[in-house]
Each structure stands twice: as structure tokens, then as C-alpha cells.
Amino acid sequence: MNSRPINVAGLAVFAALLLLWELSSRSSPNLGAYLPPPSDALRSLFRFAVARELFSHLVDTLGRFLLGYVIAAALAVGLGIVLGYFRFAHSLCDVLIELLRPMPSVAIIPVAILLLGIGNTMMVAVTVYACAWPILLNTIDGVRNIDRTLIDTGRTFGLGRWKILRTIALPAAAPYVATGLRISLPIALILVTTSEMVVGGSGLGYFILDQERSFRITEMYAGIVVVALLGYVLNRIFVALEERMTVWHRGSTLRGRP
Amino acid sequence: MTWNRESKLNGFLVLLGVMAAWELAARAALFNPLLFPPMSKIVGSFFALLFSGEIPAQMLSSMRRAATGYFLAAIVFIPLGILMGLFNGVYRALEIVIESARPIPPPVIVPLAMLFFGLGDGMKVFTIFFSCAWPILLNTIDGVRNIDRVLLHTARTFGLSQGKTIASVIVPAASPQVMTGLRISLAITLILVVISEMVGSSDGIGYFILDAQRRLKVDRMYAGMLSLALLGYLLNQLFVLFSSRFLSWHRGMRAAR
């Protein structure tokens, strides 16, 4: 794929830290109770019972994440285009947006529990709420920052409002939308795991907190490893998709210069 | 005076309309009154809680944790970011450790921190410290790396020592991007303080809101959220004020005034 050399120094430091961790936890049982050797945590990942349990929690978390993220994207991009395109619509919503936006999104969880109970709907709903903000604001910005010449050109060629929106405004705003989508990716994961911790039942957030409370520390670390891997993989998938979708754009920016 | 269709006033009118509709709907008991108390009751209990000192007290303990974690992260990770931006060797050495810790969603650090620090302030401070680390660190590295070479060459030409170059050239030149990192972390700090108080605490504004919900004191819950929104707004305004003063020299250098 790419010919980036392997980061030997980085790997060495990483391995040294793991080794230090392993040795100090093995030599001091007191410390080992809180900080079990990493090899134990890894090994427990491969124990069938743990793996099966983790997998089912992973599926739950992933399902909530995907559902919330996709719904948020659809809603926020749609609304963002309307608010970016029509200044009158924006002026109507301006104050409401400014009022709700600075509230830390997790504060919506209690309200969601009250209105939607403690099921999947509630967890997806809070994810949608929190993810919608970065996507919405970036989409509005993107549509507003479109070069006037582009729109005027479209108009000169006799394109209707709808056609301009679809063939000029949307592609031109795409890089901004992508930024919003990238920002809200970790936010979605934060909201899913937090709501799983608060209401419990299932999911990786619940699993990790539950293991800590029942003092099964090795399993807790195994859960953290899985959730970190999930975050990592999701990010890689996103970056790959983004590169493919905005390939045309890169050619016109500094980044894409030969 | 003519009516401007896009006036700022529109938004306030809509806000008033929403509040009035909420009030009327709640008074007419269109929705479950347990879940939707009238707006006047929410605002009333907001002021009651404000003047009785209950909300300010909860805010204060939240803010103490938030500030400790936030400033600790800034003190540790800005210098580290400068080092990593300046010396490629340091960057390469730490790259894999950082890249493997970064994708951990911050909330799952809460159980881990509870294990080590119990339910006290230490747990919240550590969680905030951990989650603020990445935006601050990565933005500082980027800021240092993107410094114009000419600046560094000029410093060398004038015979500035390494320490002097860092203090009077690199830190100021990277500060706009460091500020970006600090600003992102400010929002994250608020989120994490609320999360950690919801999961394991007996005070603080996050606990207050969740507790009000569990005891079905819905007006108190909404009042808590309102005060949290105000706090977020206030902190952001303060930050903007502070950073625009701090970076006023920088604004003149940009194309857009």
C-alpha cells in the first residue's frame, strides 16, 4: 500500500511500556489487583465465554452507533442545507441554535430517559442529538461559503433553484459536511458508551462499568481494548471513505499538489 | 423603519413563540404534566435554585474539577506537544503509544479511573485530563510543525539560543493553533465532567440533573440543564474574549480582518 517505513522507535517505546507494565504487575500483587498484566487482559479476550459476551455487547454498541450516526447525518445535512441556503429560515432558528448548542450534549440523557425510557430508542436518540450539532453547523457553513461565482454561473446557464442546489451547492459544500461528519464520529461513540453506562443493560459501556463494579478487572481492560479497537477501525473506515468521495476536491487544494 | 426579513429579531420571536407554546401546552395538559412542566415553573425553579445557592454550589464543585483537569492537561501536553513538534525523534518514539490510546472513547476511562481514584475528585480530574490530552497535544504538534521556516532561519541568523527561540519565536507562532486545541478541549471538559458526575458522584451539576430525573423533580432537571447551557455559553464567551486579547497581534497578520 503506502511505503511509509515502520516506526521502529515508536514500536520499541510501546513494547517497553507494555513490558514495564507486565513486570511491575507481576512482581507486585497489590498493584496487579488494579492493573493486571496486559498479557492476562489479552488472554481473556480469547477465552470463549468472555469473547462471546464481548462480541454480543460489541454488536449492540455498533448497532446503536450506526443507527444514531446515520440518522443524525441525514437529518443534519438536510436541515443544514435548508438553513444555509435560505437566510430567512436561518434567522428564525438562529437564537434556538445558539441557546442549545453550548449545553454539553450528555445533559440530554436524563431528559431522554424520562421521555423514551431506558431502551435502544433512548440511546439512539441522544446519539442523534449530539452528532447532529457538528454536522449541522458545518453544513450551514459549507453552503454559505460557496463561491458566488459558481451559483451565478449556474444561473447564467439557466439552471433552476433545485438544479443549482443539487449540482453545485451540494458538491461544493461536501468538504465541510465531511468535516462535520468526522467531528461527530467520536462524539457518537462517547454518547453511546455514556448512555450505556448510565442506563445499563447491554453494550460495551455497560460491560466495562459492570466489570469494574464486580471487580473483574482483567475483563474490564479487555473491554477497553475492544472499544479502542472499535474507535480505531471506525476512524480508518471513515478516512478511507472520505478520501474516495472527495478525490475531486483534493486536486483543487494545496494538499493535492504534486 | 422597514422590517428586515432576516433580522436578528426573528430568532428571539421564535424563541418566545416556542416558550409560549410550551407554557400553553403544559397548562392545557396536552402532554404528560409530569414530563412537561410549564415553562414558567421551570424558569421559576431555576431562579429559586439560583438564589438559594443550590445550583451555584453544585456548579462550583463541578467547575473545580473541570478547571483542575483542564489546566493540568494544558500544563502537561502543551510542552510535550512543542517537544514532539520540534524533534521528530520524540514524535516517532511516542507516536504509537499515543495512536493506540487516542481511539479510546473518554467515557470508558471513567470506570478505570474509579478503580484507581475511587469516587472522589481525583477520578473526575483524571478523566478530564485524559480526554483533553488529545486535542491539545495534536493541535500543538501541528502548530509547531506548520511554523514558517523563514521565522526559524531568522531566529538562527540573529543568533538566538534554542531556549530563546522556543520562548520568543516558536511558542507565539504556534499559539493560534494551541488555542484551537484548548477551545476544543473546553467543550470536551464540560461533557466529561457531566459524564463522570452522572456515573459516580454525589454532587456536581451532572449528578444534580440525573438525580432530579430519578426523583422525578422534572422542573429541577430542566433548571439544571438551563444553567449548564448558560455555563457553557459563558465559558465559551470568556474563552473567545481571552484568546482574542491574547492573539490580537495575530489577527492583523491574517488576510481576513
ipTM of the shown complex: 0.82
Residues of A in contact with B33 (CB under 8 A): none
Residues of B in contact with A228 (CB under 8 A): 100-101, 103-104
pLDDT score of A62? 94
Residues of B in contact with A195 (CB under 8 A): none
The answer for residues whose C-beta is within 8 angstroms of residue A209's C-beta and 6 or more apart is A197, A200, B110, B111, B199
pLDDT score of A152? 85
Q: Is the pLDDT of residue A214 over 80?
A: yes
Q: Of A257 and B222, which is predicted with more confidence? A: B222
Phi, psi of B35 (to 5 degrees): -95, -30
For chain B, which ranges sit under pLDDT 70?
Answer: 1-6, 250-257
pLDDT score of A39? 86
Any chain B CB within 8 A of the CB of A197? yes
Distance from CA of A143 to the nearest CA of B (A): 17
Q: Is the pLDDT of residue A57 over 80?
A: yes
Q: Provide, rounded to the nearest whole percent, the portion of chain A with pLDDT above 70.
A: 94
Residues 14-73 of A with CB under 8 A from B: 14, 17, 34
Q: 10 Å Cβ neighbour count for A63?
A: 15
Picking from B164, B156, B227, B215, the residue whose alpha carbon sits closest to that of residue B190 is B227
Residue of B nearest to A207 (CA): B108
Give residue for cell 478547571.
B67
CA dihedral for B23, B194, A132, A174, sign (positive or negative): positive
Across the interface, do A103 and B228 touch by the CB < 8 Å criterion?
A: yes
Q: 10 Å Cβ neighbour count for B69?
A: 27
Picking from B206, B188, B210, B208, the residue whose alpha carbon sits closest to that of residue B197 is B206
The pLDDT-based confidence of A251 (bands split at 50, 70, 90) is low
Tell me what the mean pLDDT of segment A64-93 comes to: 90
Phi, psi of A87 (to 5 degrees): -65, -30
Distance from CA of A74 to the nearest CA of B (A): 24
Q: Provide, rounded to the nearest whole percent, the portion of chain B with pLDDT above 90.
A: 34
Q: Is the pLDDT of residue A55 over 70?
A: yes
A114 touches B37 (CB < 8 A): no
Is B251 exposed, middle or buried, given 0-12, 13-18 or 19+ CB atoms closer than 10 A? exposed
Distance from CA of B254 to the nearest CA of A (A): 18
Residues of B in contact with A107 (CB under 8 A): 194, 206, 209, 224-225, 228-229
Tell me what the mean pLDDT of segment A192-221 comes to: 89
A161 touches B74 (CB < 8 A): no
Q: Is the pLDDT of residue A258 over 50?
A: no
Across the interface, do A110 and B11 touch by the CB < 8 Å criterion?
A: no
Across the interface, do B103 and A34 touch by the CB < 8 Å criterion?
A: no
Across the interface, do B194 and A106 touch by the CB < 8 Å criterion?
A: yes
pLDDT score of B3? 60
Tell me what the mean pLDDT of segment A75-81 comes to: 92
d(CA B26, CA B39): 8
Residues of A in contact with B225 (CB under 8 A): 103, 107-108, 111
The pLDDT-based confidence of A257 (bands split at 50, 70, 90) is very low
Where residue A203 falls (left for φ over 0; alpha for ψ -120 to 50; beta otherwise) is left
Q: Is the pLDDT of residue A252 over 70?
A: no
pLDDT score of A38? 86
Any chain B CB within 8 A of the CB of A86? no
B37 touches B213 (CB < 8 A): no
pLDDT score of A1? 43
Q: 10 Å Cβ neighbour count for B12?
A: 13
Across the interface, do A107 and B206 touch by the CB < 8 Å criterion?
A: yes
Overall pTM > 0.90: no
Any chain B CB within 8 A of the CB of A227? yes
Of B97, B103, B218, the CB nearest to A17: B97
Residue of B nearest to A230 (CA): B103
pLDDT score of A250? 62
Residue of B nearest to A12 (CA): B93
Residues 100-159 of B with CB under 8 A from A: 100-101, 103-108, 110-112, 114-116
- C-alpha cell belonging to residue B166: 522556543
